[in-house]
Structure 1
């Protein structure tokens, strides 16, 4: 198989590129040149946000293109139009965030969606991803466009900082604020499981929208944070704290306490999607301990600070805020 990877040097794109190379596929990575692609991949340079930035893609044929773009949908539109007729299958890595909020737990791929347009400039994450979906469908049609609606993505190469923050905090040791309840279910996908399913599906010629995440409850906040503590040497004491107290203190879930959302509407939206279609279609999710241990091993292998996307806020609770919450009752 010949794969054209739009991106491919960081997080999801890198995991997909590495998986394709491991399969023996011929991989070409189109990127801006800020980071080197994995060894073995060919490179084409260009900036999709600049006039003429797609010139390097004017020639060539591929079996599959995978696109992870999360900015203005016009970039997906222009890439898909340019490649139509020279690529058999267009895979767009989208997000479950394209579903209109609020959405009940158990929502399938057929649930209501946000508005989007392939001709729009940047609007917001959900609208931009929906516009990207529409751009892929417009150029390649329903039979040749695969929409991979990923849930929360964790694992090595993460450049958002959610799991890396928890691991770094656990490695510092001491008493760590742990948001309860411990049995609160989580739903996420390891980036390598996402990559494997995506390439399997692309190779099989699958199309349409697919929710890609573990079943809700594949892990809990308790099993995730316990795995983080164990991976970093068991130097941290998890202090399980009532969510009502955390919220009363003005702590922002998801941002200040990454991954965690209290039970309720937003938790149902982010951690309660129906993924039965993907599971029936071959998605296999590795244990949370594997995701945590491998992410910690990757963090320890870095020479400096882990990568971080400049368009995303840095997650995590400040030491002062954590200390303040740890001085009162927990429960």
Structure 2
């Protein structure tokens, strides 16, 4: 019989975070959820309320608790990482940070990008940048994640892994509105702005990334790991899947040289190589097998 683990999830109140918590509980783990009190965790989980940006508040909320694994769903800046590194030194045997494909925003390769393209131990950290400014952080999402990885990796206080998550699709609770953007434009026949040289990207289903994070909690690997389904999707193929649910609509692409483009439209390739995760023992699905289901879930139009 499996020995229950003590798992702390920081954040995790929505989308794949809540699915992760459900999986951990179902697997028999003792789960503690820490957030600012915006939402309660599911039955069976312990709820701690604290502002992770306030080191004293975080310390008080945790008290003497220790954990086998911490899964940090909401670490966006090097400041947050520095606080977490101090707070959880001696409190956890393993730290898992949910990172992003956006750490590769400066990589432009036709080949799928491997983890060693961005070595967090070589990334410069600047704690004095205005990370508390939402507009600043929003425009530097990838940089914030890159520097957060660096803080955890350069002076490790515990075994650490960063899960670099591909673009997530699926679920009836997708709060991003990205697929709805396409559905609305196709329905109205309005132009969909894309780069002149529109490049594909890797994706992962919301259930698959929850599976991957839950699996990761029980592993012992360290360092960055890419998490992405097999296969690349371009905007055109994504729109065909959306258009199947908007039969009265019309898909019109408008290539633009400069300016804002539609979600999931990229001037450079965002394809991640998932070979490391596969070697470690996780089997990813194929994006084209789950794409129709993901679109149907999100648009509320199950086939």
TM-score category by the smaller chain? 0.7 to 0.9
What's the counterpart of residue 117 of structure 1? 125
Residues 118 and 44 of structure 1: CA distance in aligned 2, closer, same or farther (over 3 Å):
farther
Contact between 1:89 and 1:140, CA under 8 Å: does it hold in 2?
no
User: Which residue of 192, 196, 201 maps to 1:186?
Assistant: 201
What's the counterpart of residue 157 of structure 2? 140
Residues 16 and 222 of structure 1: CA distance in aligned 2, closer, same or farther (over 3 Å):
same
Contact between 2:107 and 2:117, CA under 8 Å: does it hold in 1?
no
Please give the secondary structure, in 2, of the residue aligned with 1:110.
Answer: helix
What's the counterpart of residue 108 of structure 2? 103
For the residues of structure 2 that align with 1:168 and 1:42, how far apart are their CA atoms? 40
User: Which residue of 15, 23, 29 maps to 2:33?
Assistant: 29
What's the counterpart of residue 229 of structure 1? 243
What's the counterpart of residue 4 of structure 1? 8
What does the per-residue CA deviation read over 1:94-146, in whole Å, with 9 as the maximum and x for residues that have no partner? 123223614323221111458342845526322321222123333435xx211
> Does residue 48 in structure 1 map to residue 61 in structure 2?
no
User: How much has 1:294 moved relative to structure 2?
Assistant: 2.1
What's the counterpart of residue 162 of structure 1? 178
Which aligned pairs between 1:286-305 and structure 2 lie closer than 5 A?
A: 287-297=290-300
Contact between 1:76 and 1:118, CA under 8 Å: does it hold in 2?
no
RMSD over equivalenced CA pairs, Å: 2.9
Gaps of 5+ in 1: 301-331
Contact between 1:71 and 1:125, CA under 8 Å: does it hold in 2?
yes
Which aligned pairs between 1:1-331 and structure 2 lie closer than 5 A?
A: 1-50=5-54, 52-54=56-58, 55-99=60-104, 101-106=106-111, 107-112=113-118, 115-117=123-125, 119=127, 121=129, 122=131, 124-137=140-153, 138-141=155-158, 144-156=159-171, 157-169=173-185, 173-178=187-192, 185-217=200-232, 219-230=233-244, 232=245, 234-239=247-252, 241=253, 245-247=254-256, 252-253=260-261, 257-261=262-266, 266-268=267-269, 270=270, 272-281=271-280, 282-285=282-285, 287-297=290-300
Please give the secondary structure, in 2, of the residue aligned with 1:48.
Answer: coil
TM-score by length of 1: 0.73
TM-score by length of 2: 0.79
For the residues of structure 1 that align with 2:188 and 2:28, how far apart are their CA atoms? 46
For the residues of structure 2 that align with 1:185 and 1:193, how far apart are their CA atoms? 20
Contact between 1:184 and 1:222, CA under 8 Å: does it hold in 2?
no
Please give the secondary structure, in 1, of the residue aligned with 2:81.
Answer: helix
Residues 66 and 52 of structure 1: CA distance in aligned 2, closer, same or farther (over 3 Å):
same
User: How much has 1:17 moved relative to structure 2?
Assistant: 1.8
Q: How many residues align?
A: 278
User: How much has 1:174 moved relative to structure 2?
Assistant: 4.1
Contact between 2:89 and 2:157, CA under 8 Å: does it hold in 1?
yes
